[in-house]
Structure 1
Amino acid sequence: MLNRAELPGALYTAEQSRALDRTAIEQFGIPGFRLMQRAGHAAFVELMAHWPGLRRLTVAVGSGNNGGDGLIMAGLARQQGLEVQVLVVRDHFEDGLQGEALSAWQWAQAVGVELTRWQPGLKLQGEVLVDALLGTGLTGPVRGESAELIAQLNRSTRPVLAVDIPSGLCSDTGRVLGVAVRADLTLTFIALKQGLLTHEGVDHCGQVLFDSLMLPDEVYEEVAMSAFRTDRDDLAKLLPPRRRSSHKGQFGHVMVVGGDHGMGGAALMAAEAAARSGAGLVSLATRPEHVTAALTRAPEVMVAGVNSGQDIQPLLARPDVLVVGPGLGQSAWADQLLQQALNTGLPLVLDADALNLLAHRNLAGREHDWILTPHPGEAARMLGWETHEVQQDRFAAVRALQARFGGTVVLKGAGSLSCDGDAVHLCSAGNPGMACGGMGDVLSGIIGALRAQRLSAVDAARAGVYAHARAADLCAADQGERGLLATDLIARVRRVLSSLD
């Protein structure tokens, strides 16, 4: 049985989650009210585990099934002798209840739960606040009293537990619909909703826990999932231990191309990350002015100074994978180097200015074996969108990028996504300390090294994204997030990819 601290690998949309619920009820004969009781009980157990000395509880409930879960919690709290304040946002709340939510209210009422009509200025009495106001069915912005109550919950300094999803958050995209609860803990049920782990979802969910409510595995076999979540187990499967007889020729040769004037460090970080990520050989093609510095910092990297596309051409016969873009710039020199790389037909990892050059050229890429790694701003330029359009539905954006440019696309950001056209993979690791220059350069080197070690493009992308984010989490755990540098990750990545952390 899955521990609540362990998130499942399958991610679902709201509609798919409802389909799982219907399947459990209609095909497997599990009464809906029993599922609601399980949800309320699971949330109450988690509440008491996190706040064991709790004496007073405030529960904000709506008239849907999410509110029914909250009413079950309130009834259980009342039975345990807690003082319980249950808030509703309109008069005649009971008139809007039906189905399982009505059954939950009838049960809660029987054990002594009373309702309080919320009004602006009403004091929140609980030491912990429970958000069971709005569920996954929300489609438009939160308005009126619900929005005002959410704002009051957010102004409180008391901890908040969100039932299934923070009210006001889109469970499909992680976008805030007007206003959303900022929870300290979110316990989600039956299906892990994809929006909890990306975009603004990561700011509003706090710690995310999961409970399947004891649904049989056969229920999940009946409903397609939306995306996959990459974790440590995936990394171990993709990178088994090396044989004792291994040699460098078996682990590929990565060449990093980039480092225009004033940006040599970007290309060097990518090369060093590739070397630390297990590539058999790593070379660097950069401006001649950067050769000495590169050799001084990373003598294991073979460095060549190139002044033009003609200079790099003879070097391109040796590598197995090219990483193009770190510090590349958008000059004529950069354009020539990118064109030569495209002409090789080798597997490519394209980042930074290589992506900007692609956007300017409007190149479709179905014939290329490449991995593209844009951040939201670069993705917007590539698609001709605004950055906020990319962010408001990152799943749609990564699929649109892949449909237009082919290959595999990594859309970086909170909850980075990798897509090869068949599946989307989400990385839930990582932290805000990664919001600094050079992180993308290190990532491109990691992905390039994994591609050179004969991982498929999508596996190299998703494993590289996870290893990069996990290394950042380990660094932050040691010394904090603020002031984290991209180069801090490089030694940790080595340990992550060796399954030592």
Structure 2
Amino acid sequence: MALSFTPKTKEILFQVRKMIPPLLEKFHKGQMGRVAVIGGCEDYTGAPFFSANASALLGADLSHIICEPNAAGVIKTYSPNLMVHPYMLQSNHLPPDSKETAESLSKRIVNMLDRLHVIVVGPGLGRDELMLKTAGIVVREARERGMGIVIDADGLLLISTTPSLIRNYKNAILTPNIVEFSRLCKSLNIDTTTSPTTACASLAKELGGVTIIQKGKTDTISNGTETITCDVPGGLKRSGGQGDTLTGCLATFLAWKKAYREGLWEVGGDDERLAEEELMRLSAFAGSAVTRVCSHLAFREKGRAMQASDLQGHIQEAFQVLFEDGGDEERGAKL
């Protein structure tokens, strides 16, 4: 089960290193990533925790969860490192005479957006109509601000029914599994009888350049004009919740992309600065690669007993394997 990388993968991983911020004394709290996960209903509390926690473990400075009040109390017991805000509400928790609407509920969340770099929408969100509408309003407001947006799980239902939320917005990443991918393709009349790479590219193109990570045996990544594959070895256990580590890692890479674009550190040597489109591809590939290595390490340790929580403890090691000096072929051969 030793890790090995193809020449193409090595080349992409080397490019990713250019956008990873160094650890410098001049940086202050928040510059290297302020992320919020929007999700977490009374039935699903693990998913938003795994996503926000992954963003923090990878290197984001501040990680928030914006969720339903009953979920908030539970999630706060998981870790004191995350900031949890009970600003979402489910329809069945509204009193009969309540005048709350998705618009009114979204105001407190929208007021937070200027303090954030990236939002993740969907982990543990559920399918309550009021929760979905509130999340949709937040996505539109985040788009207006040019923020990085990652959408997964039930957040993808919003895109299936209202693709205009992210159409033509190239700072968004969608991470569908096979069922979610088929649903998206059906809603947008995309032919899925073609090859996976062709279908993924067609969906991304139909959405106007949004980046798609189609999860599977290998992860297909496309923005509609260029398609790459992340074939970094992963684990063999398909337990639920592994995709939440992916969304959190993606959020941190998108936050680092913003810091790179703003020139918060000097690019070494004669390297030309990476363009926005390339940075999106690299962010998507990097998030996928970290998650797959986490899965590989967790499966090696736990085997069939592996659960989503087991990936979290391997995030730093996966980052070192992929991106730090001596961390590629030589280090990977030992795993």
**Paired residue secondary structure (2:76):** helix
| Structure 2 partner of 1:313 | 110
Normalising by structure 1, what TM-score?
Answer: 0.51
1:434–1:454 Cα change, 3 Å: farther
What is the aligned counterpart of 2:308 among 460, 468, 486? 486
Report what 1:373 is aligned to: 175
**Residue in structure 2 matched with residue 211 of structure 1 by the alignment:** none
Structure 1 partner of 2:200? 398
Counterpart for residue 140 of structure 2: 342
- Give the letter for the 1:407 counterpart: V
CA contact (8 A) 1:253 1:282 kept: yes
Q: For 2:300, which of 477, 488, 491 is the aligned residue?
A: 477
- Corresponding residue for residue 82 of structure 1: none
Structure 2 equivalent of residue 293 of structure 1: 74
Question: 1:7 — aligned with what?
Answer: 6
SS in 2 for 1:296: coil
> Could you tell me how far apart the structure 1 residues matched to 2:48 and 2:11 are?
27
Q: What's the offset of the Cα at 1:462?
A: 0.7
Larger radius of gyration: 1
Equivalent position amino acid for 2:195 in 1: D
Matched to 1:408, the amino acid is: T
Judging changes above 3 Å, is the alpha-carbon distance between structure 1 residues 491 and 390 closer, same or farther for their aligned structure 2 residues?
farther
Distance 2:56 2:5 in 1: 32
Corresponding letter in the other structure for 2:141: N
Q: Identify if the C-alpha distance between structure 1 residues 330 and 400 changes in structure 2 by more than 3 Å, giving closer, same or farther.
A: same
Structure-1 separation of matches of 2:81 and 2:201: 38
Residue number in structure 2 paired with 1:407: 210
Separation (CA, whole Å) in 1 of partners of 2:307 and 2:161? 30
Residues in 2 aligned to 1:443 and 1:336: alpha-carbon distance in whole angstroms: 23
CA distance 1:496–1:244, change in 2 (3 Å):
farther
- Distance across 2 between alignment mates of 1:445 and 1:465: 11
| Same amino acid, percent of matched pairs | 26
Is 2:272 the counterpart of 1:450?
A: no
Q: 1:359 aligns with which of 151, 160, 163?
A: 160
Counterpart Cα distance in 2 of 1:381 and 1:408: 17
TM-score by length of 2: 0.75
Q: Is contact 1:398-1:418 (8 Å) kept?
A: yes
Paired residue secondary structure (1:239): coil
Tell me how far apart the structure 2 counterparts of residues 487 and 475 of structure 1 sit (CA, whole Å): 9
Q: Contact 1:325 / 1:352 at 8 angstroms: preserved in 2?
A: yes
1:81 aligned partner: none
RMSD of aligned C-alpha atoms?
2.5
Report the Cα distance in structure 1 between the residues aligned to 2:124 and 2:226, rounded to whole angstroms.
Answer: 30
Which residue of the other structure, out of 252, 264, 267, is the alignment partner of 2:45? 264
Structure 2 residue 317 is the aligned partner of structure 1 residue 495: yes
For the 8 Å contact 2:142–2:149, the answer to whether it is kept is: no
Superposed displacement of residue 260, structure 1: 1.5
For 1:466, the equivalent position in structure 2 comes to 289
Question: 1:322: how far off?
Answer: 0.5
Q: Could you tell me whether the CA contact under 8 Å between 1:229 and 1:426 is conserved in 2? A: no
Q: Which residue pairs with 1:324 in the alignment?
A: 121
- Separation in 1 of the partners of 2:193 and 2:292? 19
Task: Report the CA distance between 1:234 and its aligned residue.
Answer: 4.7
**CA distances 1:72-117 after superposition (whole Å, capped 9, x unpaired):** xxxxxxxxxxxxxxxxxxxxxxxxxxxxxxxxxxxxxxxxxxxxxx
Higher strand share: 1
Counterpart of 1:62 in structure 2 is none
Contact 1:433–1:483 (Cα < 8 Å) also in 2: no
Query: What is the one-letter code of the residue matched to 1:356?
Result: L
Q: How many residues align?
A: 277
Q: Distance in 2 between matches of 1:397 and 1:437?
A: 24
Quote how far apart the aligned CAs of 1:431 are.
3.5
The structure-2 alpha-carbon separation of the partners of 1:483 and 1:234, relative to structure 1 and needing over 3 Å to count, comes to farther
CA contact (8 A) 1:399 1:421 kept: yes
CA distances 1:281-315 after superposition (whole Å, capped 9, x unpaired): 11110011122322222211111001332342322
Contact 2:16 2:282 in 1 (8 A): no
Contact 2:235 2:297 in 1 (8 A): no
1:496 Cα deviation (Å)?
2.0
**2:239 corresponding residue in structure 1:** 436
Give the letter aligned to residue 433 of structure 1: L
For structure 2, list consecutive stretches of 5 or more residues without a partner in the other structure. Answer: 90-104, 259-278
Q: Match of 1:403, as an amino acid? A: K
Structure 1 position 396, deviation (Å): 0.5
Letter matched to residue 438 of structure 1: G
